[in-house]
Amino acid sequence: MRSLISRVTIVAALAASLAACSPKSTEVTAEDMVLGDPNAKVTVIEYASVACPHCATWNAEVFPAFKAKYIDTGKVKYVHRDALTGEPRLANAGAMLARCAGKDKYFQVTEALYRAQTAIFTSGDIRGELLTIAQAAGMNEAQFNACLSDENAAKSAERIEKMMSDNNIRGTPTFEVNGKRLGGEEGGEQTLAQLDAAIAEASK
């Protein structure tokens, strides 16, 4: 009996060790919002929040060049995953609004939310600013209200929190290139040069 227990214990410990060492899944699901060639050799995942000032800065200062160099040329599949950092109401409501606008307008709305961050933080009028963005994306006020209902908000927060927990997201922005996290476990903003190096390594 002791021998059997010992073998079971060793096997269980080995399985746990292997699981801990396993790389994170880079599988892109139907939930993900994607730009670029779906068959690209390199996948860059950004975990970001529309309420995160660092994310807004990266979006304004680095993303345009990154998009032109890698997404528009088909070299990279870029995945944007919503996270709940920064002002929690804006983070969740903004993520919901972008998704309600549809996949064809998701990035348009996300971009508008990043650009509106300063105005939102200054005025404190989250609903008013978001309604303006929603209307610019073709939604009416009734659709906007339905999108941001309490029931949808609870489901959205639960989905995002689980995704963040599953992927050990501690802060935003966090980048992964073919499953390898840049900047260590804490992540952090990445310059174009840093992304260049990571993408070059992943392309080998």
Q: In this predicted model, what pLDDT tens digit does every residue of 19-34 receive, in sequence order? A: 333 335 568 888 899 9
Looking at the chain, the whole-number percentage of residues with pLDDT higher than 90 is 82
pLDDT of residue 25: 54
Rounded mean pLDDT, 28-43: 94
Q: What's the mean per-residue pLDDT of the chain? A: 88
Long-range CB contacts (< 8 A, 24+ apart) of 131-139? 133/97, 133/109, 134/97, 134/100, 134/101, 134/109, 136/112, 137/101, 137/105, 137/108, 137/109, 137/112, 138/101, 138/105, 139/100, 139/101
Rounded to 5°, angle at Cα 95 from 94 and 99: 115
- For residue range 144-203, list pLDDT tens digits in order: 999 999 999 999 999 999 999 999 999 999 999 999 999 887 788 999 999 999 999 999
Q: Hey, what amino acid is at 1?
A: M
